[in-house]
Structure 1
């Protein structure tokens, strides 16, 4: 692991200013860029720690507060440890924000995030990688489809509703993807049941996208997030191995 520098920054977007966290090796040299997408609980110390861990492997990692329109992070007040008993009250506050954050808004913002990475002297030339968790796993897939010339790899972990009947379901855009994709599904996840995983894999096979789709047995939705009751250390470490393998091959 190299020494890492982390800092909070502000990014201009078409609709305002997004607060974000940036982590990178502190050698001042350019490194491959990675866009790391938050889960529903948002930009917070646990995600900053993930960004620093990834940066320690030689990447410049940007973690935007994608819900910046609702305010700076933390957008909702969070307990130090998020457990299922507190989740209903949290989701009462979070879900309206997520519902108002449409795919159109999301992808408009991504253009600004990618432009910022491309302009930064800390980011090496060439396409970037993306990884996302929960709602961020959906954003990672949508980003790979919306910006195929700029995304070389996308990791999606315990993402929800990747293959639904909705017209804008993420799996319907896979024909635009040129990146290599990795999916780490939680097997105890009612928001991504076996039939949806099968539908996603059929769509991936039909488009010829390079991908791996794996089931993390015994893992719950949210298994990567250290500050939640859903955290599963074994599954989280497996996710790190898969993600670093993906980025090592593609970036």
Structure 2
């Protein structure tokens, strides 16, 4: 499929959120995937990943996850300065802002002729956590979380009772959880805690741990593993194909 990309600026309670939309060109309605970036926002690797998913018949929306804290169009570099700024933004944004961001995108796609109204979510790194957060919305039918950071910590600011893992009862759809065993950001004990918490519920979820480093899906840098990335995409596409079509 050829891909059409465009920009929409969505109003949210915390300000305008630039959102990049990648979808099959031409006529037709497709399921939507809310696609969440790393702390660096829509970098080249994130745009290519979103367009890859769009090429399989999805309307993929990539929001600027820290839109309240940066000028519109900000992309942080994969360097120390970008990492420091992204981590500072992560620590500054209240989790309720992500919830209202999700609601804004869901309301937007439900009104679009190019969307069937079926909605999933996907993300890498903090984006894996934000995809998990999107799964709290009742409209989200399935979610692919790749090495989701901070599900096992309290790094993201939360008021009491608002941590993502404290709201599992709100998740109605299916989860795909993918991890790298050599990822220092989510160590074995953290993964085990998340698995235990999920397994104590009636949620429908699939769990995969690969011999990969953090950011093994990112097609830039030494940690990229093309074979694992291909497997990860196929697992996500299989789930979305079952749940969104």
TM-score for both structures, normalised by structure 2: 0.91
Query: CA offsets per residue over residues 165-189 of structure 1, 9 Å max, x none?
Result: 7854422222221110001101111
Q: Offset at 1:75?
A: 4.0
Are residue 73 (structure 1) and residue 66 (structure 2) matched?
no
Q: Which residue of 2 aligns with 1:97?
A: 89
Are residue 175 (structure 1) and residue 166 (structure 2) matched?
no
Query: CA offsets per residue over residues 106-157 of structure 1, 9 Å max, x none?
Result: 11111111111111111103x3000011001101111112x1x200000100
Are residue 164 (structure 1) and residue 157 (structure 2) matched?
no
Aligned residue among 103, 107, 111 for 2:99: 107
Aligned residue among 168, 171, 179 for 1:185: 179
Q: Which residue of 2 aligns with 1:220?
A: 213
Alignment of 1:192-207 (within 5 A): 192-207=186-201
Q: Offset at 1:164?
A: 3.4
Q: 1:14 to 1:185 in 2, by over 3 A?
A: same
Q: Secondary structure at the match of 2:16?
A: strand
CA distance in 2, matches of 1:117, 1:207: 30
Q: Which residue of 1 aligns with 2:139?
A: 150
Unaligned runs of 5+ in 2: none
> Number of paired residues?
238
Q: Which residue of 2 aligns with 1:41?
A: 40
Aligned residue among 108, 116, 122 for 1:116: 108
* Contact persistence 1:163–1:170 (CA under 8 A): no
TM-score for both structures, normalised by structure 1: 0.89
Q: 1:68 to 1:165 in 2, by over 3 A?
A: closer
Aligned residue among 131, 145, 160 for 1:140: 131
CA distance in 1, matches of 2:91, 2:113: 35
Query: CA offsets per residue over residues 178-230 of structure 1, 9 Å max, x none?
Result: 1100011011112211112111111111111010111011x111111112332
* Contact persistence 2:121–2:131 (CA under 8 A): yes
Q: Offset at 1:52?
A: 1.3
Q: Offset at 1:11?
A: 1.7
